[in-house]
């Protein structure tokens, strides 16, 4: 279930960045920027935090996740190659 949220957030991050850049290159509508900017930022933070909280993830996936825009999708692909299921680390640190 958590993997689905990560996948949705990663796609949302990429789409919001594309919309922001397209808006900047064309009409530069302020309402669109003020809507998509925080949306992109929240999606980016969600992706980074979600990847960093996954159990049994190497530093490569965590480093890839901090790339803006495409990092979440690349991290998901890397995690899929490792065969890691999307389970967060327990809060108490125990197993």
The residue ranking higher by pLDDT, 65 or 56, is: 65
| 3 state DSSP class of 64 | helix
CA atoms within 13 A on the CB side of 85: 2
Mean pLDDT of 34-44: 96
Question: What are the tens digits of pLDDT across the range 2-20?
Answer: 688 999 999 999 999 999 9
Mean pLDDT of 74-91: 75
pTM flag (> 0.85): no
- Residue 67 zone, left/alpha/beta (φ > 0; ψ -120 to 50; rest): beta
Q: What whole-number distance in Å separates Cα of residue 37 and Cα of residue 17? A: 8
């Amino acid at each position: 279930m958590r993997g689905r949220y990560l996948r949705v957030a990663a796609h949302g991050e990429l789409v919001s960045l594309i919309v922001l850049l397209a808006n900047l290159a064309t009409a530069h509508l302020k309402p669109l920027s003020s809507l998509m900017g925080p949306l992109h930022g929240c999606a980016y933070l969600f992706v980074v935090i979600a990847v960093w909280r996954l159990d049994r993830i190497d530093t490569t996936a965590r480093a890839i996740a901090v790339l803006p825009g495409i990092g979440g999708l690349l991290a998901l692909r890397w995690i899929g190659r490792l065969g890691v299921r999307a389970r967060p680390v327990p809060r108490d640190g125990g197993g």
